[in-house]
Amino acid sequence: MLIGQEVTIVGGGIGGLAAALALAARGAVVTVLEQAPRITEVGAGIQISPNGWRVLQALGVADQLAALSPRSQAVRLRDFRRGAEVFTMPLTRQDQPWHLVHRADLVELLAQEAEARGVTIRLGARVAAITPGPMATELTLADGRVERHGLTIAADGLHSPARLALNPKSRPFFTGQVAWRCIIPVAEPMAPEAHVFMGPGRHVVRYPLRDRRLVNIVAVEERDGWAAEGWQHRDDPARLSRAFTDFCPELRDMLDRAEDVFLWGLFRHPVAQVWQDHRLALLGDAAHPTLPFLAQGANMALEDAYVLARCLSEEPETRSALARYEALRRPRCARVVQAANDNAGNYHLRPGPLRFAAHTALRAAQRFAPHVVTGKFDWVHRFDVTA
């Protein structure tokens, strides 16, 4: 049971704040340790698919977020050179809402709601090491202080010390792909759709945010040269433009206007073999980092948060609750991560028989059996952890 139980969450991102909100709603006394001096996020967009949106509805923040983020009407796959549509997946079902969300808006909303429910957020508290134990979890902060906490949730991302403590042999590897991320203002509101421009060894995802006068760009390129992992490495906008000079003018003109550009290397991390021990559990990217080819990173973290809170509220003992959480989440997250891995090459086919056959098949499916393609990932998007 969670009534009055103290819980510490390491990480004030989407997963950590959603977990704080879900736990506080069930009576826990929650403290979030966030390394940044203030709750903020790098300007970036995310797609919240129906499985993640259901969690936001259950947490009571969906209506507020809907007022800040356009509801997506379609995903359009397009040829890189001419911009011609290859396949369009409509997203108009009323019971399957998709939203195009500015990450900062969601983080700010979750933080406000968490604090309104009594969650304490400690800023500037960077955790350098975590040691699990049977009675308490030991946290070593960057300033050298050592603190002992009870139940601790590590929602601190790719480089989580808790992940390393529980999985010391887990090592990522560079995929040979890098991604640029930027937000570009536009004069006229864009259609609330996600467009994927597919090219040889490269692709670009584009969709609007907020009032549809901001456009989120994620541009991926295959390359031999390694790039650092992490979202906050700035790059020269000219490099982004040069990488896509042979794409259609519609997209190229937009990329030429990019000013504030971030670059990161895409690394493949194995799903953690161990998610919990004693009074410590992993959540979100700390447990299952995923490549950005299925738009499920934030959605999986939201699912984790809800399931973890439910398990802790329903199980009489913490250890059995954490074991149940891992048993429920690990198989699904592993399948989603693998699907994202498999999807990586689908956008990057080079000119030739394989690309021609693949695009011809998509166009034929669009005309004669669109449900074959649109239903491929129903197992991801129609899943409901709140049911």
- Residues marked active site are found at 207
Query: What's the one-letter identity of residue 302?
Result: L
Query: Hey, which residues does 266 pair with through a beta bridge?
Result: 177
The structure tokens listed for 16 are 């950590």
CA dist., res. 137 & res. 129, Å (int): 10
333, 341 in Cβ contact below 8 A?
no
Which pairs count as long-range contacts for 348-357, CB under 8 Å and 24+ apart, including other chains? 348/198, 348/199, 348/200, 348/201, 348/202, 348/203, 348/220, 348/222, 349/198, 349/200, 350/200, 350/201, 351/200, 355/200
How many residues are recorded in the chain? 387
CA dist., res. 190 & res. 214, Å (int): 8
In sequence order, what are the residues at sequence separation of 6 or more whose Cβ sits closer than 8 angstroms to the Cβ of residue 374? 89, 90
CA dist., res. 368 & res. 346, Å (int): 21
Name the nearest CA neighbour of 41 among 81, 12, 70, 4.
12
CA pseudo-torsion sign 344, 347, 352, 355? positive
CA dist., res. 308 & res. 23, Å (int): 9
**N-term to C-term CA, the chain:** 20
The structure tokens listed for 141 are 């902060």
